[in-house]
Amino acid sequence: MRMVVCVKVTPKAEQVRLDPTTKTLIREGVESEINPADKNALEMALNLKDKHDGEVIVLSMGPPAFEPHLKLAVAMGADDAILLSDRAFAGADTYPTSFTLAMGIKKLGNVDIIFCGEGSSDAGTNQVPPGIAEWLGIPQITFVNKVEVVDGKVRARRTIRGGYEVVEAPLPVLLSVELGCNTPRFPDFRRKRWAEREFRLKVWNKNELGVSEEQVGLKASYTTVKELKEAKMRERKGEFIRGSPEQVTEKLLEIIKQYL
Amino acid sequence: MAGYKSIWVFLEQNEGVLEEVSLEVLGKASELASKVGAEVTGILLGHNVKRLADEAIKRGAESIILADSPVLENYMTETYTEVIAGLVKERNPDAFIFGATNNGVDLAGRLAVRLGAGLIAHVVELELEEETGLLLGSVPGFGGSILAVCKCVKGRPQMVTVRPGIFRALPPDESRKGRIEEVQVRLKPEDIKTRIVEKKVGKAIDISKAEKVVIGGVGTGGDLSLIKRLAELIGGEVGVTRPLSDQGIAPRDIMVGATGVGLSSKLAIVAGVSGAAHFLSGIDKVENVIAINTDPDANIFNHADYCVVGDLFKIMPELIKRIESLKG
């Protein structure tokens, strides 16, 4: 079985701030990581590989700075990693992003299952996975937390409101994987050292992907960001209740009573 | 101003019940439509769901396009995308708004690429740009601390998914009348590649409208017994933070925050929660927040009305005892 895991590298969400005057993101000093849900997607793929054998390839679109993170994915057990990188890809919204990734998958060829995280921690639109599936013309099963392959078909359990459903689809298929549905493995120490020192990341630019400038990046985007703004938080009283346990309980009771 | 003729709303139904968020979207769409003189059309797919069309009209839709067929009984990406893409291509609505449920997102993401349309996801604010009349949707990013104001610069319809619990549904108006147009469904069962082999849906718990909520975080160590008991005593619901939901301690339906439920309660008692940005956006609409945490520097205290520095395992049993005796 040939599996591709689409991965994004995202800044750690809790470290990102907005510059109050320029209204741009302050990126200095912000650490980045493999998008958490994508790690769950990778773990799910590696699990299937453990059971059925096969190959797991990590695919990402972004700047060369993604390299150490993709090497980490290889250290975790991915067989190969490919970075789609070109200045022309910059500024892409979900439409060209899903297109570019789909073109990478097409170039790889003969892929059975494509895994994505359900969404990313920076923008969190959840739209890239269905977009890729549509570009490839294959079925999608989103918000998946459990998967098995039976008789050449995928059976995946996906979360719906109030419960779940199990969907069966023929291969090839795209799955978006629920954040937190498994515990991503730690990289093996020796494999990590090998990945860092010897593994060579493949980088494909727009020519190698066979796409034109008009099909990718900002030019091919349907949406633009007009501005960024700080989410205004409600003003709170911030009153500390101090005293003996009895006094604290007494005061809390007084507040809660109004709502009983 | 961009000329609008029609704003479409996807009316998501599960097991013959309209999703609350679809009614919220109808309410918002009506408000926008009245500003631009557009008609609000509800798009309803399912099997034997005509009465839901009547309900949607009472809640703000002016007309309904209904596709009623056994193959549409359950939501499936393939069938719903096929039917709806056909309708959009035929009639060219100016805007199309969906509730950002798992199924709403699954559908909208696929449709946007098929239609060559821009899609603004998970908005928490939706308005019209004065100069152009384009929809402006504010999308929370980076855990909800920053909003990106987005618009669709090309492609039609302008597509938007809306976070549940943000906008208000209109109260039902029994006197409202609207057109219901039923369209033919040409899908054949043998054309459908995917199938649902199992489905298990309990009564979906919706804590977004609860008046009182008691929320447990990592500080509970996963033991929700005190949280549950207090919630029961004050007639409230239980909520959790993302780590507890990720660990499978509680279902996602009761996970509060940017990737979960946004609360609109009068009171929230928040115990053992540190106050990460993605959590805070979920309690922002709560009128009164009481926080209990052992760490005096916990960020949650910057976003609470009443702050108690202390061990929840000591404070909550005491509180529970007092309320029990109060209630006799």
User: What's the pLDDT tens digit per position in A54-93?
Assistant: 999 999 999 999 999 999 999 999 999 999 999 999 999 9
- Contact residues, chain B, for A239 at CB < 8 Å: 305-307
Give the other-Cβ count within 10 Å of A254's Cβ.
Answer: 10
Q: How far apart are CA B89 and CA B155, in angstroms?
A: 12
Check B202 against A143: CB less than 8 A apart: no
| A229–B contact, CB cutoff 8 A | yes
Calculate Rg over the CA atoms of chain A.
22
Q: Is the link from the previous residue into B157 a cis peptide, with omega within 30 of 0?
A: yes
The predicted-structure confidence for B153-190, as pLDDT tens digits, reads as follows: 999 999 999 988 889 999 999 999 999 999 999 998 88
B68 to chain A, minimum CA–CA distance in Å?
22
Question: Lowest mean pLDDT: which of A12-26, A32-46, B281-295?
Answer: A12-26
Q: How far apart are CA A58 and CA A69, in angstroms?
A: 11
Contact between residue B238 and residue B214 where contact means Cβ atoms under 8 Å apart: yes
Q: The domain that contains B261 carries what CATH number?
A: 3.40.50.1220
Q: How far apart are CA A136 and CA A148, in angstroms?
A: 22
Q: How far is CA A203 from the centre of its chain?
A: 19
For residues B163 and B238, state if they share a domain.
no
Give the other-Cβ count within 10 Å of B155's Cβ.
Answer: 17
| A200–B contact, CB cutoff 8 A | no
Burial tier of A226 (Cβ tally within 10 Å: 0-12, 13-18, 19+): middle
The DSSP code sequence of B230-245 is HHHHTT-EEEE-HHHH
Q: How far apart are CA B120 and CA B125, in angstroms?
A: 11
Give the other-Cβ count within 10 Å of B193's Cβ.
Answer: 14
SS3 A2: strand
A147 to chain B, minimum CA–CA distance in Å?
13
Q: How far apart are the first and last CA of chain B?
A: 63
SS3 A160: strand
For residues B108 and B234, state if they share a domain.
no
| A249–B contact, CB cutoff 8 A | yes
Q: How far apart are CA B45 and CA B66, in angstroms?
A: 6
Check B246 against A256: CB less than 8 A apart: no
The whole-number average pLDDT for the span A206-234 is 93
The answer to whether residue B203 scores a pLDDT higher than 80 is no
B167 to chain A, minimum CA–CA distance in Å?
17
- Supply the mean pLDDT for chain A: 94
Strands A202-204 and A80-84: parallel
Check B193 against A139: CB less than 8 A apart: yes
At a CB cut-off of 8 Å and minimum separation 6, what does B174 contact? Answer: B58
CA distances from B144 to B139, B152, B298 (A): 8, 21, 18
| A43–B contact, CB cutoff 8 A | no
B204 in a structural domain: no
C-alpha dihedral, B94 to B100 to B105 to B109, nearest 10°: 30
The whole-number average pLDDT for the span B289-295 is 97
For residues B158 and B236, state if they share a domain.
no
B202 in a structural domain: no
Q: Beta partners for A74?
A: none
Residue B314 backbone phi and psi in degrees, to 5 = -100, -40
Strands A55-61 and A80-84: parallel
Check B281 against A260: CB less than 8 A apart: no
CA distances from B294 to A99, B75, B275, B297 (A): 48, 45, 13, 9
| A162–B contact, CB cutoff 8 A | yes
- Contact residues, chain A, for B148 at CB < 8 Å: 123, 225, 227-228
Q: How far apart are CA A163 and CA B205, in angstroms?
A: 10
The predicted-structure confidence for A177-186, as pLDDT tens digits, reads as follows: 999 899 999 9
Check A160 against B110: CB less than 8 A apart: no
Number of domains in chain B: 2
Check A240 against B307: CB less than 8 A apart: yes
For residue B168, give the nearest of B59, B61, B257 by alpha carbon. B59
Domain boundaries, chain A: 2-223
The predicted-structure confidence for A101-158, as pLDDT tens digits, reads as follows: 999 999 999 999 999 999 988 877 899 999 999 999 999 999 999 999 999 999 999 9
Contact between residue B139 and residue A231 where contact means Cβ atoms under 8 Å apart: no
B18 in a structural domain: yes
For residues B160 and B243, state if they share a domain.
no
For residues B113 and B235, state if they share a domain.
no
Residue to substitute from B194, B245, B299, interface A, most A β-carbons within 10 A: B194
Give the other-Cβ count within 10 Å of B65's Cβ.
Answer: 23
Nearest-Cα residue of chain B relative to residue A233: B284
For residues B179 and B40, state if they share a domain.
yes
pLDDT band at B309 (very low <50, low <70, confident <90, very high): very high
Calculate Rg over the CA atoms of chain B.
22
Check B110 against A169: CB less than 8 A apart: no
The DSSP code sequence of A125-159 is ---HHHHHHHHHT--EEEEEEEEEEETTEEEEEEE
The whole-number average pLDDT for the span A194-215 is 97
Domain that holds residue B293: 212-327
> Would you state the pLDDT for residue B32?
96
Give the other-Cβ count within 10 Å of A213's Cβ.
Answer: 13
For residues B94 and B124, state if they share a domain.
yes
Q: How far apart are CA B25 and CA A82, in angstroms?
A: 41
B142 in a structural domain: yes
| A163–B contact, CB cutoff 8 A | yes
A83 to chain B, minimum CA–CA distance in Å?
23
Check A131 against B203: CB less than 8 A apart: no
A201 to chain B, minimum CA–CA distance in Å?
28
B170 in a structural domain: yes
For residues B184 and B282, state if they share a domain.
no
For residues B156 and B220, state if they share a domain.
no
Check A131 against B113: CB less than 8 A apart: yes
> Would you state the pLDDT for residue B2?
56
- Contact residues, chain A, for B226 at CB < 8 Å: none
The whole-number average pLDDT for the span B79-105 is 97
Q: How far apart are CA B118 and CA B96, in angstroms?
A: 10
Q: How far apart are CA A98 and CA A61, in angstroms?
A: 10
Check B152 against A223: CB less than 8 A apart: yes
| Token pair of A64 as six digits | 């060369």
Which residue among A13, A155, A223 sits closest to B142, beta carbon to beta carbon?
A: A13
Q: How far apart are CA A186 and CA A199, in angstroms?
A: 18
| A240–B contact, CB cutoff 8 A | yes
- Contact residues, chain B, for A143 at CB < 8 Å: 102, 106
| Token pair of B19 as six digits | 């999703």
Q: How far apart are CA A129 and CA B322, in angstroms?
A: 51
B319 in a structural domain: yes
Percent of chain B topping pLDDT 90: 81
Contact between residue A1 and residue A48 where contact means Cβ atoms under 8 Å apart: yes
B85 in a structural domain: yes
| A218–B contact, CB cutoff 8 A | no
Residue whose pair of structure tokens reads 């150490």 in the numeric block: A68
The helix/strand count (H/E) of chain B reads as: 8, 18
For residue B84, give the nearest of B8, B150, B139 by alpha carbon. B8
Residue whose pair of structure tokens reads 């029609």 in the numeric block: B6
For residues B223 and B290, state if they share a domain.
yes
Q: The domain that contains B85 carries what CATH number?
A: 3.40.50.620
The answer to whether residue B281 scores a pLDDT higher than 90 is no
For residues B85 and B171, state if they share a domain.
yes
C-alpha dihedral, A173 to A179 to A182 to A183, nearest 10°: 130
- Contact residues, chain A, for B141 at CB < 8 Å: 122-124
The whole-number average pLDDT for the span B34-53 is 96
Residue that wins the pLDDT comparison between B305 and B242: B305
| Token pair of A253 as six digits | 């009771």
> Would you state the pLDDT for residue B246?
80
Strands A163-170 and B195-201: antiparallel
Question: Using alpha carbons only, what angle is made at residue B157 by residues B154 and B159, rounded to the nearest 5 degrees?
Answer: 95
Nearest-Cα residue of chain B relative to residue A178: B246
The whole-number average pLDDT for the span B209-218 is 95
> Would you state the pLDDT for residue A29?
87
- What letter would DSSP give residue B119? E
Burial tier of B249 (Cβ tally within 10 Å: 0-12, 13-18, 19+): middle
Superfamily of domain A2-223: HUPs (3.40.50.620)
The one-letter amino acid code at A86 reads: D
Nearest-Cα residue of chain A relative to residue B261: A161
